[in-house]
Amino acid sequence: MITENKMEKYLTPRKIYSLIIICFIFFFLVIQACSVGGKPKSEIENYILDYQAPTLEKQAQLDRTIRFDRFTIASAYNTQNMIFRTDNYSLDSFNYNRWAVNPADMVADNLLRDMQSSGLFRAVFSRYTVEEASFLIQGGIGEFFLRVEKSSKIAVISLQITLKNSNQVEANKRIIFQKKYHHEELLTEQTPRGYCQVMSQALKILSQQIIIDVYQAIKESSKN
């Protein structure tokens, strides 16, 4: 039998310290094993809309300036989640794939770039500018989702554009036009990246229509 004196002999301070270190390492390894022992953690992938600015028919540049207001978006899509729908009543999103920024800001930023690249206006300013502009563009995203059907997946985007004359004193005469735009694009690659690609293409098509409509509306208003 080990007496108390013998125990003191065997459990020297150095050995006690070593035991504490060993126990600490053991519990640390157990905790680490528990934290990674389940399903491996998946990294979230972020996506942005991207496409070449549309090439428009050459037109005379208008001596007018435009400023973008911040776009709004319907509450159901006011998120960075990549939304998909299987019917009119349900809404879901991908677990590990998201938009890098809010869709309303992505759409507005791309339309701003495209309008600036068109060369059809003297200047086009973002919402952050302090410069005064002749016209104001406001936008609202009504739909921005992936429609999942039995045999296909379709990117859906709809938005409303309002063009206002900033120099018009009478409030009821400031609106030059207000128009809704809608486009659907069939996925060829059945992945979140494929969804991002066709949504980019859908916005490019709408962007071209919007720029032409804004140009014609400003041109006509300038004659009055």
Assess whether 14 and 109 both reside in one domain: no
| Residue 13 β-bridge partners | none
Assess whether 99 and 194 both reside in one domain: yes
Q: CA of 146: how far to CAs of 32, 108, 140, 196, in Å?
A: 39, 19, 18, 10
Assess whether 28 and 124 both reside in one domain: no
Q: List the domain range (segments joined by +) for residue 19.
A: 4-36
- Examine residue 87 and state whether it is found in any structural domain, yes or no: yes
Assess whether 195 and 143 both reside in one domain: yes
Q: Which residue has 């998201």 as its token pair?
A: 98
Confidence grade of residue 132 (pLDDT, cut at 50, 70, 90):
confident
The predicted model gives 201-223 an average pLDDT of 92
Assess whether 123 and 211 both reside in one domain: yes
The predicted model gives 74-84 an average pLDDT of 94
Q: Contact at 8 Å (CB) between 28 and 20? A: no
- Examine residue 12 and state whether it is found in any structural domain, yes or no: yes
Dump the DSSP string for 12-80: -HHHHHHHHHHHHHHHHHHHHHHHHSSSPPPPPEEE----PPPP----PPEEEEEEEPPPEE-GGG-SS
Rounded to whole angstroms, the Cα distance separating 199 from 185 reads 7
- Examine residue 113 and state whether it is found in any structural domain, yes or no: yes
Q: Cα 28–30–35 angle (5° rounding)?
A: 95
The predicted model gives 37-42 an average pLDDT of 53
If one compares 209 and 220, the residue with the highest pLDDT of the two is: 209
Assess whether 31 and 108 both reside in one domain: no
CA 33 centroid distance within chain: 36
Assess whether 28 and 54 both reside in one domain: no
Lowest average pLDDT, out of 20-29, 73-82, 86-95, 215-224, goes to 20-29
The predicted model gives 95-102 an average pLDDT of 93
Rounded to whole angstroms, the Cα distance separating 15 from 168 reads 88
Q: Contact at 8 Å (CB) between 83 and 93? A: yes
Confidence grade of residue 16 (pLDDT, cut at 50, 70, 90):
low
Whether the per-residue pLDDT at 47 is higher than 90: the answer is yes
The predicted model gives 88-93 an average pLDDT of 90
CA 89 centroid distance within chain: 23
- Examine residue 41 and state whether it is found in any structural domain, yes or no: no
Assess whether 93 and 146 both reside in one domain: yes
Assess whether 138 and 57 both reside in one domain: yes
CATH code of the domain containing 85: 3.40.50.10610
Query: How many distinct structural domains can be found in the chain?
Result: 2
Assess whether 85 and 22 both reside in one domain: no
DSSP state of 87: S
Confidence grade of residue 66 (pLDDT, cut at 50, 70, 90):
very high
pLDDT in tens, 156-189: 999 999 999 988 777 777 899 999 999 999 999 8
pLDDT in tens, 189-200: 889 999 999 999
If one compares 137 and 7, the residue with the highest pLDDT of the two is: 137
Assess whether 12 and 66 both reside in one domain: no
- Examine residue 24 and state whether it is found in any structural domain, yes or no: yes
Q: Tell me what pLDDT residue 2 has.
A: 46
- Examine residue 106 and state whether it is found in any structural domain, yes or no: yes
Q: CA of 112: how far to CAs of 55, 94, 139, 156, in Å?
A: 15, 28, 11, 21
Assess whether 65 and 125 both reside in one domain: yes
- Examine residue 42 and state whether it is found in any structural domain, yes or no: no
Confidence grade of residue 9 (pLDDT, cut at 50, 70, 90):
low
Helix and strand element counts for the chain (H, E): 4, 9
